[in-house]
């Protein structure tokens, strides 16, 4: 009886939530939205989606060819601008451009989508400049753009949508990407609380693994080779060639549905023995990324257009069923489940 009652209450709660989330903001065709990183991937698709819904899209691209491609695929309502989020003068020029377009109506939506993944490698292979390169785009650039646009968003009592990642919940590999996304989560949380009195809503989108330019396998392999070659001789000696080769094998398997032959079969491994549970959590690092980018852009669109948006959006089943739950596990258990099947470093005791 009690189980039945709980099931009914849960069903009613989910129904109420679903009905609330179907309600839309009125007057969308009069609202301006700025989206960064629109040369390709999520940003390009989102700009087209919002344009198709009649919103006034201001699409920020890093390059003119990227902007031209987007203009050719969109309606005359969509305007493009060039923006390098790592240069404050470019951000200031973009703020002036947006201010002239929106006028007294303000900026309804800001989507901080521009991002960079590489360099990605074991931390000891990298230099300070490698970390700074990614942090400058993913975190400091996002902060700079947000601060520049805040007066316009406050005027419209609008929305800010920051693209984080499941890697802002749990870190898989070295480099600046994971720290940058942890930073996006922290900045978004503090910003959300500060802007609540102004009627501004801040949402975080946490995608899982999706097939974009950032997940291109051939590019990942070239980057890994470059970083191994730039590592200090003593570092390469400490890790050894078999360790590097196992890193390459793992990166090359990123687009395969089946698991490759583990380097553990020919080299002693530092990780724990394989198990079905551990393989379940490690699998998406070696399986094909989702090509359905609309799962992510749909979350962004809902955060901008719904009368009752969510605070956090998890995009992709791997994010919802694997990595977000994994982030709540005890650290020691998460470490065992995520330990990659790499060759043991040459000088590991």
Q: Work out the mean pLDDT of the chain and round it to a whole number.
A: 82
Q: How confident is the model at residue 271 (pLDDT cuts 50, 70, 90)?
A: very low
pLDDT at 214 over 70: no
Which positions ≥6 away from 256 have C-beta within 8 Å?
286, 287, 288
Indicate if the pLDDT at residue 261 is higher than 80.
no
198 in a structural domain: yes
* pLDDT above 90 for 142: yes
Residue 153 placed within a domain: yes
Which residue would you say has higher pLDDT here, 218 or 24?
Answer: 24
Residue 250 lies in a domain: no
Could you tell me which residue, 181 or 246, shows the higher pLDDT? 181
What pLDDT shows up at residue 215? 60
pLDDT tens digits for 154-180?
999 999 999 998 888 888 888 888 999
Residue 257 — pLDDT band, cuts 50, 70, 90? very low
What is the rounded average pLDDT of the residues 52-79? 92
pLDDT at 27: 85
Per the domain annotation, does 233 fall within a domain?
Answer: no
Residue 83 lies in a domain: yes
Above 80 in pLDDT, residue 139? yes
Rounded Cα distance, 115 and 168, in Å: 13
How many domains, the chain? 1
Task: Look up the CATH number of the domain holding residue 147.
Answer: 3.40.50.720
Give the pLDDT confidence of 272-314 residue by residue, as tens digits. 334 444 444 444 444 556 667 888 899 999 999 998 999 999 8
Residue 328 scores a pLDDT above 80: yes
User: Residues 13, 173, 177, 328: which is the catalytic one?
Assistant: 177
Clarify whether 182 is annotated catalytic.
no
The predicted model scores a pTM of 0.81
Higher local confidence (pLDDT), 94 or 228: 94
Q: Is residue 13 predicted with pLDDT exceeding 50?
A: yes
* Residue 176 covered by a domain: yes
Check pLDDT > 70 for residue 269: no
Q: What is the residue range of 174's domain?
A: 22-211+289-317+324-329
User: Residue 266 in contact with residue 246, Cβ under 8 Å?
Assistant: no
Q: What is the pLDDT of residues 105-124, one digit of tens each?
A: 999 999 999 988 888 888 88
On the question of pLDDT at 90 being above 90, the answer is yes
Mean pLDDT, residues 39-64: 92
Q: Is residue 14 part of a domain?
A: no
Domain contains 247: no
Per-residue confidence band for 252, with pLDDT thresholds at 50, 70 and 90: low
Q: Find which of 144-158, 195-209, 320-334 is predicted with most confidence, using mean pLDDT.
A: 144-158
The per-residue pLDDT for 10 is 81
């Amino acid at each position: 009886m009690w189980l039945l009652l709980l099931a009914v209450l849960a069903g009613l709660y989910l129904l109420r939530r679903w009905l609330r989330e179907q309600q839309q903001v009125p007057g969308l065709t009069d609202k301006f939205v700025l989206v960064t990183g629109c040369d390709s991937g999520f940003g390009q698709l989102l700009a087209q989606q919002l344009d198709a819904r009649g919103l006034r899209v201001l699409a920020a691209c890093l390059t003119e060819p990227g902007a031209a491609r987007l203009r050719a695929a969109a309606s005359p309502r969509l305007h493009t601008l060039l923006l390098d989020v790592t240069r404050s003068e470019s951000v200031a020029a973009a703020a002036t451009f947006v201010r002239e377009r929106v006028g007294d109506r303000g900026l309804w939506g800001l989507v901080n989508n521009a991002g960079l993944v590489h360099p990605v490698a074991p931390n000891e292979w990298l230099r300070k400049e490698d970390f700074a390169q990614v942090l400058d785009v993913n975190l400091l650039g996002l902060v700079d753009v947000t601060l520049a646009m805040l007066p316009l968003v406050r005027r419209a009592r609008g929305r800010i949508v920051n693209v984080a990642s499941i890697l802002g919940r749990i870190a898989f590999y070295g480099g600046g990407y994971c720290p940058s996304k942890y930073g996006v989560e922290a900045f978004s949380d503090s910003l959300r609380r500060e802007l609540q009195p102004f009627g501004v809503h801040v949402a975080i989108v946490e995608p899982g693994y999706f097939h974009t330019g950032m997940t291109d396998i051939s590019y990942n392999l070239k980057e890994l080779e470059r970083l191994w070659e730039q590592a200090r001789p003593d570092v390469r000696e400490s890790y050894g060639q078999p360790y590097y080769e196992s890193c390459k094998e793992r990166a090359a398997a990123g687009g395969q549905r089946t698991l490759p032959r583990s380097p553990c079969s020919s080299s002693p491994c530092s990780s724990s023995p394989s198990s079905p549970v551990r393989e379940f959590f490690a699998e998406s690092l070696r399986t094909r990324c989702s090509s359905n980018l609309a799962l992510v852009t749909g979350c962004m669109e809902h955060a901008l257009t719904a009368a009752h948006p969510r605070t956090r959006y998890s995009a992709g089943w791997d994010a919802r069923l694997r990595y977000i739950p994994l982030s709540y596990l005890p650290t020691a258990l998460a470490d065992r489940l995520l330990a990659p099947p790499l060759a043991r470093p040459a000088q590991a005791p």
